[in-house]
Amino acid sequence: MFISFVRTIILYFTIILAVRVMGKRQINQLQTSELVVTLLISDLAVIPMQDSGQPLFSGLIPILVLIALEVLVSVFMLKSSRFHRLVCGKPVVIIKDGRIIQENMQELRMSVEDLFEQLRQKDVFVLSDVTYAIVETNGTLSVVKKAAVDYLRPSDMGVKVKDEGLEVVVVSDGDLSVGSMHLCGKNEEWIHSILKSEAVPLSEVFILTVNTAGHYTLIRRDGSLKKGVKK
């Protein structure tokens, strides 16, 4: 029992050392190489803790090797931008001037629902308010809003405007979202009337967003965009 206690303490401080060497980051901020090393270290540390018959050094040595390897990789990435791109990839633009770049979304295997969820976390509720949205190498989303909506708002000038409510995705890649319709107080008949007025079949719709005021944004599979209002 005492031996297991001592082994656990040694491994605990070894893992702390490894985390300190990799730097202070949250889990969702880890680069690819850092995440791989973290997962491997956690697996290696479990083996000597669970099996007291396993030599302690059989777990410590691989952990120390991984720490050294991570330091070397970090140094190489600092010295070479090409090596950095090889290990971590590069940022990918998925929205430009309010338009979604479908090819890049497919390359990242990122769904429309995931994109809008991350936009809402950035306090962006209208797609057309975005100048650029970039998926960083660690998977986080960076958003650059248009100057007209980011720096100066009607409230800054004492102008009262009507709240148009939350913009939601009611059609994604040709599929209707009943739950989203309920959020904005609309139904399938209302959605189909928009598609009929725009002469667009449901199967050709990439994204259709609607808010409670009846404003909608229709993006076809070919990338063309149309905005309108339907009460």
| pLDDT tens for each residue of 54-99 | 777 777 888 888 888 888 888 887 777 678 778 778 889 999 988 9
- Every domain of the chain and the residues it spans: 2-87, 91-161, 164-231
Q: Which of 75, 125, 132 is nearest to 100 (CA)?
A: 132
Listed residue (54, 42, 45, 61) closest to 3, CA to CA: 54
- CATH among 3.40.190.10, 1.20.58.220, 3.40.50.970, 3.30.240.20 for 164-231: 3.30.240.20
Q: pLDDT grade, residue 212 (50/70/90)?
A: confident
In this structure, what token pair is assigned to residue 48? 């000597």
19-23, 118-122, 170-174: least confidently modelled range: 19-23
3-state secondary structure of 133: strand
Q: Are strands 92-96 and 130-135 parallel, antiparallel or unpaired?
A: antiparallel
Q: Which helix (H) or strand (E) holds 196?
A: helix 188-197
Domains 91-161 and 164-231 share a fold: yes
CATH of 91-161, one of 3.40.309.10, 3.40.630.40, 3.30.240.20, 3.40.50.450: 3.30.240.20
Please report the pLDDT score of residue 199 as a whole number.
92
pLDDT at 79: 79
Residues, the chain: 231
What is the pLDDT confidence band of residue 218, given thresholds at 50, 70 and 90?
Answer: very high
Cβ proximity of 43 and 50 under 8 Å: no
